[in-house]
Structures are given as structure tokens and as C-alpha cells.
Amino acid sequence: MASYKAEIDVMTTFDSEDNSWRKREKRNIGSLYVYQANSDLAAGLAMLSYTVTTPPANKLIESAISVARRTKKVDAYIIDSLASDNGGMIAPFSLIGYIRVYDPSTPILALSYDCSPETVKAAFRYGATSFLPRPQSLELIQSVV
């Protein structure tokens, strides 16, 4: 598995002519909605210059619906199979179904440790456009998105 880029590599550049470090202008390369349980994926994508929206743990469904209903939508969603809302587990990938009600066309990447045929079928049945097993390198996730 490839490692995340260090924040100093993303945010600075060295100028060999005057032997100094300069802060790079951070350019936004896309807008993502990321829900992944117990992961630093959102932080890694933010360091690569994505604008990342993450939901609060206790209002997962409400947050996903709110983002999906916005007129200025995200470029892609990244959704983990395991999710809980208000303290209770929800069906694997059902969050994708809530998003699809209000946003039928934006790409959704589904992630899961469980790669059984039933789990993969569930992701696509709810409306995922792609599926990757967890854990996965940041570079591969970025290329799929």
C-alpha cells in the first residue's frame, strides 16, 4: 500500500535558486463527500487539494441528503459499507440509496473490507458507480474518483 504524501510535500516547494522554501498555492482539484468509518482518507484527500465534506457521526443520513439536495453538488461521493446513524447500524451501502434519491448522476465510489459477491452486488444495487476493497492506496482512490 502506498503512503500518503506528507503535508509539507503538498503545501511547500523548494526554490533552488535562492535556497528557500515557498508556500504553494493550494488549488482545488475537486469537491468530494467522504464517509469512511475509522479512516484518515478524508485528510489524505484534503492534502491532495480536494475540498472534502465529511458528515457528523450522529447525523449521517441527514448530512448525505443535505449534500445531495444542494444545487452546487460535489464531484463524487466516497461511501464506506459500514455506517451508523444516531447510534444504530444502517444496512451496508444504504447511504448510497439515500443519496441517489436526490442526486441520481454524481459518481459514487463504494468501499468495503467485505468483498463477497453479495456485498459488491448490494453496492451497485443501491447505485454505486464503482467499488474498491479496503484498505486501498490513496493514489488508486484518486484515480478512480
List, run by run, the mean pLDDT of 10-residue segments along the chain (145 residues).
44 62 66 83 88 86 90 87 77 90 94 92 95 90 87
Grid coordinates standing for 105? 448522476
The predicted-structure confidence for 36-61, as pLDDT tens digits, reads as follows 876 788 888 988 889 898 888 778 88
Q: How many CB atoms lie within 10 A of CB 114?
A: 13
Residue burial 29-51, b: 16+ Cβ < 10 Å; e: rest: eeebbbbbeeeebbebbbbbebe
Contact 73, 60 (CB under 8 A): no
Q: How much of the chain, in percent, has pLDDT values that exceed 90?
A: 38
